[in-house]
Every structure is written in structure tokens, then in C-alpha cells.
Amino acid sequence: MMPIMLPWILHIDMDAFFASVEQLDNPELRGKPIAIGGSSDRGVVSTASYEARKFGVRSALSVVKARRLCPQLILIPGRMKRYKELSRLAMGVLQEFSPTVEQASVDEAYLDGTGLERLFGPIDEVGRRIRERMVEVTGLTCSVGAAPVRFLAKIASDMNKPDGMFIIRHDEVETFLHTLPVKKIPGVGKKAAATLERLGVRTCGDVRQKPKDHWEKRLGKQGGVLHDRACGIDNNGVIVWTGAKSCSAENTFHEDTADRGLLTKWLLAQSERVGGDLRRHDYKGRTITLKVKFADFKQITRSKSLEGRTDNTALIFETACDLLEQLELRRPVRLIGVGVSNFEPRARQVTLFEEAPQEQEATSELDQAVDSVRKKFGSKAMIRGDLLEFHKKQPK
């Protein structure tokens, strides 16, 4: 009889990806605290090197605060084209080991490791080979987590960063979960952790002291998911994403223009279209892209990846405006557009105790209300005040 193959899922996370790419390409930056983000004080940090993290510089931190924490911080605007290039190489490395690879973002992926032990040896050896091959092909390090289920693999990849590996073996799951803080479960943020702490829950062991229906009564459907996770249950496997890649809107003008005010109006109208399309098809994206074509037909794109994925019209618009603000318009513009990409592999899958900043929650409710009115009475039934005159002036 053939031995039973134990299930394995691996989570591969590139170490401080954007910052590491900059240090790879520019040796003078190695060993120095650097951060990727906008050059203006309104910008936010998207990634920080490990040298900068020692000072408390983290993703989503404002540039002003980051500089305050680390005065010697080197701020770099970022090169999305280069990051995507190395991301493709990294994903190619993973596909050398398994045909079932799910890219979760530009710098992380899940890999179905079931059966790989027959080809490469024990799971420890699989992880070691992946890390070695990643350095050979990309020049960058990654951290690997391996576990019987998906959410534990993600937790494991964060245990020995950078350039490390952590394995949660099948017979270790119970012990590992007993003392695991609930805030370590993907989807349990600060707000949810505080709610659980008020209920006397700090670890997965605390959750398991009560039956599943207890948590469903207290916290609804997500309470049941919380109990499942605390018991090591996760039915989500590795899915190769083959859905839509992006959603965008663009317009070519009847007359070229360098009027930033007018360009901003167009971005708002386009952000509404894109946001509405995303919500209608149950997609959320992480990367916002601005496209500009000048009067001489030269075309450029500028992109920014957010900390989380969004279908929020206001956030899409604000990010596109930030990208436009960074451009020097030395020539008139004949086309402008905005797009959202890097979608969630599972469309609109709600994470456990999904959270958003308070002002984003309010805007999301506004988006839903506007969508509802337009669905019932037509796309022109509700128009933003900022766009009322703008729409009247556009050619029919």
C-alpha cells in the first residue's frame, strides 16, 4: 500500500519586498534604513527595510511620522514596474516546485505542498530548496511557513522573518494553537482583539473553552469561524486565480488640457465608474494605477499599492490624485485614466472580523447607498455635487 500523503500548505512571503529590491539594485542602500513612499509629507510608507523597522517605521505610517522616528530615513518613491518584474520571477520559482500556486499579492503566495516530499524530501527540505532557489533567481530572500492548513501557514511564515522557515507539523497543531494569541489569526485586528479581550479571550485556548454555538450567538457567523480557526479548521485550500486582472476607466479629451482642476474632475468621475464596477462584480483591488497620455502621444503610468484591498470610490480617487500630484505636466494631456488591479484571489471574501478605518467604513456605506439608488433609478439618478456642472459641460 502507498503511504497516505499528509496535506501541506506553504506560505511564501518575500522579505521587505520593495525595500529589498531597491537595496538589491543599489548596493549603496544596503544596510541603511530606507522606506518606499511618496516624497511629500502627505505620503505614507508602503514598505520599510529591516534597518528602518528597528526605529518603528512600518507600512501605512505617514511619511512625517516615519521621519520623526528615523531622521536618517532614506525615502524612495518606488518603481512598480521593477517590483512586478521580480514578482514574476519569484512566482516562477514557486511554480518550479508545484503547479498549484496562488499569488496572494505582489510579494506573497500560497503553494500546495501535498506530495512534494516524494520529489524533494521532507517538508523542511522543500522549504530550504525554495529559499535557496529564490536567492539564485531573484537575488532576494523570502520566509516560508508550512502547516496542514492555510491560515496556519500564513502565521508560520511570519515566525522566523527574515530569511527563515517555520513548520507547524500535524501533531503540533493542538499545542501550537493552545497558547497562540487570537490577534495572530489573520483577520483579527486591533478592534476585534479588544472586543475578545473584554470577553476574557486572549488565546485560541480561551476560545476553545466554549462550544462553537456559544461564539455564533455572541459574534454571529464570524464567531463560528473564530472557533474553527482556534481548533485548527480551515477548509480554504490553494486556488490558482484565473479571474479578471484589472478594472479601469479612461477618457480621451476633445481638446488637450493641462488644467489640473479639470483632470481631477475626470479622475473623480472615473473613480466612481471603477468603484461601482468593482462592487457590482464583487472585486477588491490593492493597486491603483494612473494612466496619462500627452499631446505628443507619449504615455506614462504611475501605480501605488495599498496596504489592503479596496472597492472604495473615495480611496481610489484620493490615491489617483496623489499620483497625479507627483507628475510634472510639461505638456498638455490628451487622455487620463484610472485603474484598480491586484484583486483578491477570492472575490470579496470577508476576513475574520474585517476592519476598516472609521471614515472608510462611512464612505463604504455611502458607496452602497449610491449604488442602490443608481441600480433602481439609473446611473444619472444621483450625481456628486462636485461633478454636477462637470457633467453638464460634457458633450452628449
Name the average pLDDT for the chain: 86
Q: What is the pLDDT of residues 52-90, one digit of tens each?
A: 999 999 988 888 999 999 999 999 988 888 998 999 999
Active site residues: 108
The pLDDT value given to residue 369: 64
Q: Who contacts 239 (Cβ-Cβ below 8 Å, separation ≥6)?
A: 102, 345, 346
Domain ranges (residues) in the chain: 9-14+83-230, 17-79, 246-393
Percent helix / strand / coil, the chain, rounded to 5: 45, 20, 35
**Second-level CATH architecture of 17-79:** 3-Layer(aba) Sandwich (3.40)
Hey, what CATH class is 246-393 in?
A: alpha beta
Alpha helices (H) along 199-284: 204-207, 212-219, 221-230, 260-280
pLDDT tens, 133-151?
Answer: 999 999 999 999 999 999 9
Spell out the long-range contacts of 27-30 with Cβ–Cβ below 8 A and sequence spacing 24 or more.
Answer: 29/74
Instruction: Return the CATH class of domain 9-14+83-230.
Output: alpha beta
Confidence of residue 361 (pLDDT cuts 50, 70, 90): very low
The predicted-structure confidence for 110-125, as pLDDT tens digits, reads as follows 999 999 988 999 999 9
- Is the pTM higher than 0.85? The answer reads no
CA distance 16 to 5: 34
